[in-house]
Structure 1
Amino acid sequence: MKQIKYVTLAFAFAAGAAAAAELPPLREVREIDQNMLWAGLAIEVADECPTIEVRKLKGLSFLWGLKHKASSMGYSDDQIRAYVDSDAEEARIRRLGEDYIRRAGFDPKTPEGLCAFGAGEIAKGSLIGSFLRSVK
């Protein structure tokens, strides 16, 4: 009976490892990658705009939720860390963010453009705007 438990446990670990090996890169998981873009945009606005701050606790809670979501999908801490710490992924997200801001009609390269974009997101009550608050 004891051997059956060990064999079952070994199969469970093997199945888990095989499932993890079949996972797409996190950049291809829309519900993670898109939300990382929104969080990154909020941080960029707050970093560059003197009249807008990021809601730190809300942002941290959101990011922990994304980490938990990725973990529950089968991604290891190492896979998540590699995605988050990747310079290439950061540059890709930055390009996507700049394109998004341009499509919204603002200049992503100036504080004025980022402030106007951030103020608009706050006014709309968007997910990006929910991470921000005006300070005057």
Structure 2
Amino acid sequence: MRMTGAGLAALALGALVPAASAASLSKEADINKALFEISVADEIRKNCDSIGARIFAALGRMNALKNEAQSRGYSEAEIEAYVSDKEEKRKMRARADAYIRAQGAAPNDGPSLCALGRDEIAKQSRIGSLLYAR
């Protein structure tokens, strides 16, 4: 079987450029940072009755992240596999819990998460932009 020059070039390029995969999404630092921020905001709003979520802001951010991942070559199935992966969820939860503790709050502790949420809102952080005080 003979391969044309174009076929050989395509094969060589395919070998040099790794295909996007759900596993490689974990290496996308900016996307994961944004997912982390959403995760922390979600933890705060779930445990603090005096703070609500800016649902449309969170959905908008999630859609932007999905669009960004797709523009980098990830398929919808790869994105869904990544965000649904139990191990990746566990890692994200551990990162969020570590951040919460580093800020002087405790995961699942309503009063300390309320204080953290109010601080994030006051700082106008990316986490705080997903929350509002009721």
Do Structure 1 and Structure 2 share a fold, with TM-score over 0.5?
yes
Residues 47, 108 of structure 2: 8 Å contact kept: no
Q: Determine the structure 2 residue equivalent to 1:69.
A: 68
**Alignment of structure 1 residues 1-136 onto 2, 5 Å:** 11=10, 19=17, 21=19, 25-135=24-134
Structure 1: runs of 5 or more not aligned: 1-6
Q: If each structure's helix is expressed as a fraction of its own residues, which one has the higher value? A: 1
Tell me, in whole angstroms, the C-alpha distance in 2 between the residues paired with 1:97 and 1:40: 7
Structure 2: runs of 5 or more not aligned: 1-5
Tell me, in whole angstroms, the C-alpha distance in 2 between the residues paired with 1:103 and 1:29: 24
Instruction: Count the aligned residue pairs.
Output: 126
Residues 20, 74 of structure 1: 8 Å contact kept: no
Residues 70, 80 of structure 1: 8 Å contact kept: yes
Residues 46, 52 of structure 1: 8 Å contact kept: yes
Amino acid at match of 1:35: A
| Gap change, CA 1:80 and 1:131, over 3 Å in 2 | same
In angstroms, what is the RMSD of aligned CA positions?
2.3
Q: Determine the structure 2 residue equivalent to 1:4.
A: none
Task: Give CA-to-partner distance per residue, 1:19-45, whole Å, 9 cap, x none.
Answer: 452666211110111110001111111
My pick for the range that moved more, 82-91 or 122-131, is 82-91
| Gap change, CA 1:84 and 1:22, over 3 Å in 2 | closer
| Gap change, CA 1:104 and 1:120, over 3 Å in 2 | same
Residues 41, 128 of structure 1: 8 Å contact kept: yes
Residues 20, 74 of structure 2: 8 Å contact kept: no
Tell me, in whole angstroms, the C-alpha distance in 2 between the residues paired with 1:22 and 1:60: 24
Q: TM-score, normalised by structure 2?
A: 0.84
| Gap change, CA 1:78 and 1:17, over 3 Å in 2 | farther
